[in-house]
Structure 1
Amino acid sequence: MKPHTPIGLGAIETQPLHEVVFEKLRHALMSGQIEPGRKLTSRKLARELGTSDMPVRSALLRLQALHALDQLGNGSMILPAMTRTRFTDLMNTRLVCEPAATRQAIAGMDRPHLLRLRQAAVALTAAAEDQDLDAYLFYNHDFKFGIYAACGSPSLLFLIETLWLQVGPFLRQFRGQFDNDLRGILALDYHDQIVKQLEAGNGDAAADLLARDIREGFGFLLENGQFE
């Protein structure tokens, strides 16, 4: 009797639940969807995510190891307080890593990739005009990591992600600034110009504009943000 011939479907790949939970929480932190000072418990997050405690607890411990969370005496987690010294260190390190990733990314920019960046840039502007800080921070992350993902350096991307885990929630400090008109943030935002330089194949100019974007946001928050 002849053995059955495989029909070429291939194995179904499944991502472990603890990885799914970790990715959701990691993205929420980096894109500023979780407010500084919020206490996070595995039980409440498990209910919100529709899962059990164990994968949430595993994800929270991994995030603590990456300095994104601090553990309280009762076992719950909290986003660590932001000091001026810590914020300055994080932002200065961003100014080293992110322009470097942008320069390297130019080689990986094809037409579909540039189109996605253009769409994210349009969404960023629309979010500011709609006074929607959550959407603005979401698309700000989407736009910048759309660039960095093409840099071809997993180690550099990991460093940038680790920085954003710590600084992302603090970017919510933009709320209430600009006389409560979020459109004012567009004066500190160079996403349209960055896309134009990437479309032109000019990685150095794109990196310089991105550094300016980080530097001006850094300066504004250092002057106007609330620190511990």
Structure 2
Amino acid sequence: MPPQPAALTGLASDPEPSGRGATRIQVAAAVRNALLTGRFIPGKAVTLRGLAKELGVSPMPVREVIQRLAAEKALEIQPNGRVQVPQMSRTRFDEILKTRLLLEPELAAMALGGLSAPDVRELERIDEHLDESLKSGDAEAYMQLNHAFHFRLYEAAGSEIMLPMVESLWLQFAPFMRTVYGRVGTVSLVDQHREAIAAITAKDTERLRRAIAADIADGMGIIGRENLAGP
């Protein structure tokens, strides 16, 4: 079975975390997953208290996580205390896309030497499930699986600087792209992951760079720009 997106609920039903730090880690994981799978809608505000209630925790760890995500530009805190995903502008979109195209092919190239045969098999497994989500039109599963594929690859780079930067970029663009995929569907998306896997198998760094760049340009660049509102 493909991995299923975690809901933004249910922390209270998990084993009791051992202290405040563990609770904050659980909250951070839940909120980040919610951003990556489009459970937060750009421009739609929520409250800290409402999020805390949904997660079954006190407001304090939620506030800490939200403040961190606001510093990463993934969320914004309004003067009245409500929280929302920033609206996507053309300028912001183009800058995120350009930065992804600069960083992610290089991060993939750095990862190439650290990938084992089991890693390649796992990438193939994820991509098989991703293809199923494209055929079925399940946008949320596609978002989850696409993230899983890229970060299974990128984490092999062992980067302490580029990887957090790329993670922050994904948190910033994912909610917008989820609304786009929900509107136009996923059937038209071109899966460049097979080419990336072939490049990994061949140990071809330049081919891998090109495959990742093409994946970003197709999956976000073309479809996202076409669906940006406004002038």
Shorter-chain TM band: 0.7 to 0.9
Instruction: Pick the aligned partner of 1:32 from 33, 38, 43.
Output: 38
For 1:201, the aligned partner's letter is: K
For normalisation by structure 2, the TM-score amounts to: 0.85
Counterpart of 1:17 in structure 2 is 23
CA distance in structure 2 between the partners assigned to 1:151 and 1:80 by the alignment: 30
* Counterpart check, 1:164 vs 2:170: yes
Counterpart of 2:183 in structure 1 is 176
Matches for 1:146-225 after TM superposition, within 5 Å: 146-172=152-178, 173-177=180-184, 180=185, 182-185=186-189, 187=190, 189-216=191-218, 217-225=220-228
Structure with higher Rg: it is: 1
Retained in 2: the 8 A contact 1:32–1:138? Answer: no
For 1:207, the aligned partner's letter is: R
Percent identity (aligned): 33
Matched residue of 2:156: which SS? coil
Shift, 1:54, TM fit:
1.0
For normalisation by structure 1, the TM-score amounts to: 0.86
Counterpart of 1:132 in structure 2 is 138
Q: Cα RMSD over matched residues?
A: 1.8
Q: Which runs of 5+ in 1 are unaligned?
A: 1-12
Structure 1 window deviating more from structure 2 (122-131 vs 96-105): it is: 122-131
For 2:224, the aligned partner's letter is: L
Q: Which runs of 5+ in 2 are unaligned?
A: 1-17
CA distance in structure 2 between the partners assigned to 1:211 and 1:137 by the alignment: 18
Count of aligned positions: 211
The C-alpha deviation readout for 1:57-94, integer Å capped at 9, x for no partner, is 11111111111111112201111111001100010000
Retained in 2: the 8 A contact 1:102–1:206? Answer: yes
Shift, 1:137, TM fit:
0.6
After the TM superposition, list the runs of 4 or more consecutive aligned residues in structure 1 that deviate by more than 4 angstroms: none
Matches for 1:63-74 after TM superposition, within 5 Å: 63-74=69-80
Instruction: Pick the aligned partner of 1:92 from 93, 98, 117.
Output: 98
CA distance in structure 1 between the partners assigned to 2:116 and 2:216 by the alignment: 25
Retained in 1: the 8 A contact 2:101–2:216? Answer: yes
